[in-house]
């Protein structure tokens, strides 16, 4: 989230698209209701189904799964054509005026630089035009046809209301009514907030879905302001934290990149990181990259990381491919290329696409370790549970360890919420039986390995032996000690070059601005610097005071970065430093510095007249309507059909899908065609359950006890399916036999002139726990992911459905 949960109350318009906030985040959704009641806000929901969120919406429109980019590009077309954008904001705070290099083009579904043999792009033309000093050229008058804004106009010109409706199935009048509501927030004192979640990420074009709305928000001047922003609601309690700390194939803590094979030395690695400013006088904060990396290396390896050994650069693993993501991992497993797999609090048999493939992959492992408080399906993949898990145990040679782990109530520590708040929590009881903490278990494995490497040697023991592990209790380090290590400390006396204040060696640091690249500071996660200082554990703060009740609560817990609650908040003020919305200022220029209710996302004493852009992490200081080379499939979003689609791509039939999505051959062979699987399916959560956990909780099992799918009345009638009757839903990959909920909340849509039905597949059921046994939605889903992130396309695929008899019990 760029903003906070409570800040939603400041919105004038709330659009929920690509998510179902009421159902998946009920307690955060209260702020939407609050916005309606206290701020007169309207709520708009765009969703294939009439959801629980829609039930309290002021306006609802249906959309075919997987066509959000067409819808949002149509919105951009509307805004630009009617000229309802926030001009001053767009001109000064986005790259609308920057001039794009001549080679850039878009034709028949491909951007310039496409290589049809490798399905990759040469992105060199996706760039600005530069002057002799290396700065991007601009034309503030927008006369130059190569200005970003003009290229954007041209790009979205195809997305007329007729075309949007033809692709998305959203009736034109509904689409246009929503455009009107959205356009009204272009007024400087009006804000729209976008609430989204996996409804946008779980597509082969997931990242571009989100980008498209971010562009709409930039055109409206809704980023950085109270009640605005792009607000990813996020799934698990610490999914933000695990992302922040870099528990992803290609990441290190604080969004630093894991090195690749091409970066043969520390210096080579740093060459691609130090983004120099692309416009005069800009900040480009990533010029400090080296300070973050060296401080991380000092936290990891301590004294062993020295300037001489490039801060232990070689001890970090290097990537030969962009990602070893989950789809890749299970492809490797199925190819017999993996020996072991550790699932810590993770249940891939339920969570990953194409369940059959997951089961076959796990069966080829030599060993599987599961660490979980609960008896997961993954830990029992080898056991026969009937049609819901047909396994022949004797044929499966995998050794399986099922390790019992304590849960949230039985540990202390911090979690990062979707608003980037680090909140400390306290242990309330001991775990059951012999359950132990993840920290104890991971430490136990580490010490055993280190001991063996110390004694017996083996493959490259250096990083294991050199790993810094100076904890008071090395067997199970105290969470507070780990939190302090992430925050960082001074390794020598540090003198501030401006204030001459000395931070003594051994002291906890106050801010990442204190980090050095000379080995005199250590910080395990630079963005957390300030969370655990000499003043104590800032994450444990509990002062809920909220100035003007504007949803900031600056002294509750601690938010990264630097306790900032609203990202890009410089953009909440106009060019002179006055709030666009005088009723809800965030920060303003008071003549000497930026002041207000939030920590400035900007140099605190940088004058408005200095012309420094508000997006200080970007090299040109501007919000990007044109994404340069940072996205896999192009600088502008483009509508590509899901890999299983009921329709041609009417814009460019020869390039129907994301051209750079990675598809493994066996997965491609498992795609179904609309001839055999004529209905669009989409998977989702129900409010009564949390993924695959709460079926273990009795109350939740009572509230929603059994697997079902949802279909509209028209399709039910066509197929002779009764309310609550048994059906078989099948995809090319598998079938689910369950009951049907025949509902008025799903209606057929007209897509490219054809009636198109959507089938809803809630995803919570498996074969362990207290709810009734089910097949699980991932029995049906295809194994293909977003081209940038490889997040699986769970939200749009094809199935067939037929009535069936109740299974014998």
Partner 1 sequence: MSDLQSQDYVRRSATTMTPPAARSHEDQVAKLIDVSRCIGCKACQSACMEWNDLRPEIGHFEGSYENPMDLGPSVWTLMKFAEYENEQGNLEWLIRKDGCMHCEDPGCLKACPAPGAIVQYANGIVDFISDKCIGCGYCVKGCPFDIPRISKTDHKSYKCTLCSDRVSVGLEPACVKACPTGAIMFGSKTDMTNWAGERIEDLKSRGFEKAGLYDPPEVGGTHVMYVLHHADKPSLYSGLPDKPRISPVVEVWKGILKPLAVIGIAMAAVGAFFHWTTIGPNEVTDEDEAEAARVLREKEEEST
Partner 2 sequence: MPLTRREFLKVTGMGLAAGSLGMLGFGASGVAQAAAVRPFKLAHATETRNTCTYCSVACGILIYSMGDRAKNALSNIIHIEGDPDHPVNRGTLCPKGSALLDIVHAPTRLKAPRYRKPGGTEFEEVSWDFALDRIARLMKEDRDKHFITQNAAGTTVNRWISTGMLAASASSSETAYLTWKVARSLGMVVFDNQARV
In whole angstroms, what is the distance from residue 155 CA to residue 150 CA?
8
**Among partner 2, partner 1, none, what binds residue 707 when CB lies within 5 to 8 Å by partner kind?**
partner 1
Degrees to nearest 5, angle at CA 356 with 400 and 704: 90
Taking the complex as a whole, the smallest distance from the CB of residue 705 to partner 2 amounts, in Å, to: 13
Taking the complex as a whole, the smallest distance from the CB of residue 417 to partner 2 amounts, in Å, to: 3
Segment 741 to 760, residues that bind partner 2, using CB under 8 A: none
**Among partner 2, partner 1, none, what binds residue 322 when CB lies within 5 to 8 Å by partner kind?**
none
DSSP-derived pairing of the beta strands 413-416 and 536-537: unpaired
Which residue stretch of 21-29, 95-103, 160-168, 673-681 sits at the interface with partner 2 (rule: CB under 8 A)?
A: 21-29
- The answer to whether 517 and 291 have CB atoms below 8 angstroms apart is yes
Which residue stretch of 140-148, 158-166, 394-402, 735-743 sits at the interface with partner 2 (rule: CB under 8 A)?
A: 394-402
**Among partner 1, partner 2, none, what binds residue 644 when CB lies within 5 to 8 Å by partner kind?**
none
Q: Which residues contact 577 (CB under 8 A, 6 or more apart)?
A: 588, 589, 594, 608
Of the residues 148, 225, 329, 349, which one makes contact with partner 2 according to CB under 8 A = 329
Of the residues 346, 558, 594, 708, which one makes contact with partner 2 according to CB under 8 A = 346
Nearer to partner 1, 33 or 650 (CB): 33
**Among partner 1, partner 2, none, what binds residue 326 when CB lies within 5 to 8 Å by partner kind?**
partner 2
| Residue 512 within binding range of partner 2, rule CB under 8 A | no
Half-sphere exposure of 459 (CA within 13 A, CB side): 0
Report how far apart, in Å, the C-alpha atoms of 296 and of each of 245, 287, 319, 510, 561 are. Answer: 11, 16, 19, 16, 16
Nearer to partner 1, 9 or 110 (CB): 9
In whole angstroms, what is the distance from residue 746 CA to residue 750 CA?
13
**385: β partners:** 387
**Among partner 1, partner 2, none, what binds residue 196 when CB lies within 5 to 8 Å by partner kind?**
none
Taking the complex as a whole, the smallest distance from the CB of residue 37 to partner 1 amounts, in Å, to: 6
| Residue 83 within binding range of partner 2, rule CB under 8 A | no
**194: β partners:** 15, 230
| Residue 270 within binding range of partner 2, rule CB under 8 A | no
Nearer to partner 1, 544 or 806 (CB): 806
Token pair, residue 768, equals: 């362990």
DSSP-derived pairing of the beta strands 256-257 and 594-596: unpaired
**231: β partners:** 195
> Which among 774, 779, 745 has a CA at the least distance from the CA of 760?
745
| Residue 682 within binding range of partner 2, rule CB under 8 A | no
Place of tokens 């605005």: 228
- The answer to whether 128 and 100 have CB atoms below 8 angstroms apart is yes
Token pair, residue 696, equals: 């273990």
| Residue 338 within binding range of partner 2, rule CB under 8 A | yes
**Among partner 2, partner 1, none, what binds residue 394 when CB lies within 5 to 8 Å by partner kind?**
partner 2
| Residue 526 within binding range of partner 2, rule CB under 8 A | no
Nearer to partner 1, 52 or 420 (CB): 52
Look at residue 148 and give its three-state secondary structure: helix
Which residue stretch of 93-101, 209-217, 474-482, 496-504 sits at the interface with partner 2 (rule: CB under 8 A)?
A: 474-482
Token pair, residue 204, equals: 């082969």
Nearer to partner 1, 58 or 384 (CB): 58
| Residue 320 within binding range of partner 2, rule CB under 8 A | yes
Residues that bind partner 1 (CB under 8 A): 22-23, 26-27, 29-30, 33-34, 36-37, 50, 52-56, 58, 60, 687-688, 698-708, 723-724, 738-745, 770-772
In whole angstroms, what is the distance from residue 383 CA to residue 375 CA?
13
Segment 541 to 570, residues that bind partner 2, using CB under 8 A: 542, 544, 546, 553, 556
Token pair, residue 561, equals: 């970065």
Nearer to partner 1, 181 or 703 (CB): 703
Q: What is the DSSP string of 568-635?
A: TGGGGB-TTS-BSSTTS-SEEE-SSSEEESS--SS-TT--GGG---S-TTSTTSSB-SS-TT-SSS-S
| Residue 375 within binding range of partner 2, rule CB under 8 A | yes
Nearer to partner 2, 331 or 641 (CB): 331
| Residue 435 within binding range of partner 2, rule CB under 8 A | yes
Of the residues 356, 463, 519, 678, which one makes contact with partner 2 according to CB under 8 A = 463
């Amino acid at each position: 989230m760029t903003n906070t949960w409570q800040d939603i109350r400041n919105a004038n318009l709330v659009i929920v698209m690509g998510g179902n906030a009421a159902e998946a985040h009920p307690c955060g959704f209260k702020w939407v209701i609050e916005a309606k009641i206290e701020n007169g806000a309207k709520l708009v929901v765009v969703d294939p189904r009439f959801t629980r969120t829609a039930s309290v919406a002021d306006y609802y429109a249906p959309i075919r799964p997987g066509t959000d980019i067409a819808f949002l590009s149509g919105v951009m077309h509307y805004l630009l054509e009617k000229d309802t954008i926030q001009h001053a904001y767009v001109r000064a705070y986005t790259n609308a005026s920057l001039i794009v290099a001549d080679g850039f083009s878009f034709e028949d579904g491909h951007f310039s630089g496409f290589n049809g043999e490798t399905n990759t792009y040469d992105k060199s033309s996706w760039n600005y035009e530069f002057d002799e000093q290396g700065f991007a050229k601009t034309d503030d008058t927008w006369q130059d046809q190569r200005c970003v804004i003009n290229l954007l106009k041209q790009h979205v010109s195809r997305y007329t209301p007729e075309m949007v409706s033809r692709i998305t199935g959203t009736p034109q009048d509904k689409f246009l009514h929503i455009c009107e509501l959205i356009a009204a927030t272009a007024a400087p004192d009006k804000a729209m907030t976008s609430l989204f979640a996996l409804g946008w990420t779980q597509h082969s074009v997931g990242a571009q879905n989100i980008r498209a709305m971010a562009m709409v928000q930039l055109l409206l001047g809704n980023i950085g302001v109270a009640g605005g922003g792009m607000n990813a609601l996020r799934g698990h309690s610490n999914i933000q934290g695990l992302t922040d700390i870099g528990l992803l194939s290609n990441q290190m803590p604080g969004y630093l990149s894991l090195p690749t094979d091409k970066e043969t030395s520390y210096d080579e690695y740093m060459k691609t990181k130090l983004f120099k400013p692309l416009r005069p006088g800009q900040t480009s904060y990533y010029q400090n990259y080296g300070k973050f990396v060296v401080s991380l290396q000092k936290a990891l390896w301590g004294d062993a990381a020295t300037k001489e050994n490039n801060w232990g650069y070689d001890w970090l693993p290097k990537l030969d491919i962009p990602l070893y993501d989950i789809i890749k991992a299970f492809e490797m497993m199925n190819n017999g290329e993996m020996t072991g797999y550790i699932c810590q609090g993770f249940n891939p048999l339920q969570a990953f696409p194409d369940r059959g493939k997951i089961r076959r992959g796990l069966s080829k492992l030599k060993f599987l370790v599961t660490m979980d408080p609960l008896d997961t399906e993954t830990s029992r993949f080898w056991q026969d549970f009937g049609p819901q898990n047909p396994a022949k145990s004797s044929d499966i040679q995998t050794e399986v360890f099922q390790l019992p782990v304590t849960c949230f109530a039985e540990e202390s520590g911090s979690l990062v919420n979707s608003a980037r708040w680090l909140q400390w929590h306290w242990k309330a009881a001991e775990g059951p039986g012999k359950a132990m903490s993840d920290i104890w278990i991971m430490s136990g494995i580490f010490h055993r390995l280190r001991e063996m490497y110390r004694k017996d040697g083996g493959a490259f023991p250096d990083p294991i032996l050199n790993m810094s592990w100076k904890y008071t209790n090395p067997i199970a380090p105290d969470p507070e000690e780990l939190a302090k290590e992430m925050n960082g400390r001074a390794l020598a006396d540090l003198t501030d070059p401006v204030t001459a204040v000395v931070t003594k060696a051994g002291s906890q640091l106050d801010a990442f601005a204190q980090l050095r690249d000379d080995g005199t500071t250590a910080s395990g996660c630079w963005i957390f610097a300030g969370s655990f200082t000499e003043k104590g554990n800032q994450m444990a703060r509990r002062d809920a005071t909220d100035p003007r009740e504007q949803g900031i609560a600056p002294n509750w817990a601690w938010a990264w970065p630097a306790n900032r609650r609203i990202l890009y908040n410089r953009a909440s003020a106009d060019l002179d430093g006055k709030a666009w919305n005088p009723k809800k200022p965030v920060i303003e220029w008071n003549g000497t510095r930026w002041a207000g209710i939030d920590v400035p996302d900007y140099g605190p004493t940088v004058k408005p007249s200095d012309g420094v852009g508000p997006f200080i992490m970007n090299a040109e200081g501007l919000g990007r309507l044109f994404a340069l080379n940072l996205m896999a499939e192009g600088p502008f979003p483009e509508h590509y059909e899901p890999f299983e689609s009921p329709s041609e791509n009417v814009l460019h039939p020869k390039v129907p899908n994301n051209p750079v999505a990675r598809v493994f051959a066996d997965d491609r062979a498992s795609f179904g065609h609309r001839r055999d699987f004529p209905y669009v399916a989409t998977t989702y959560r129900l409010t009564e359950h949390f993924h695959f956990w709460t079926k273990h909780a009795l109350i939740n099992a009572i509230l929603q006890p059994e697997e079902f799918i949802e279909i509209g009345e028209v399709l039910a009638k066509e197929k002779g399916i009764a309310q609550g009757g048994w059906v078989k839903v099948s995809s090319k990959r598998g079938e689910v036999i369950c009951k049907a909920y025949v509902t008025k909340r799903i209606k057929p849509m007209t897509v490219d002139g054809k009636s198109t039905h959507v089938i809803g597949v809630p995803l919570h059921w498996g074969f362990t726990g207290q709810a009734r046994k089910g097949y699980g939605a991932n029995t049906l889903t295809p194994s293909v992911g977003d081209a940038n992130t490889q997040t699986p396309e769970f939200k749009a695929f094809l199935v067939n459905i037929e009535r069936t008899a109740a299974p014998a019990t």
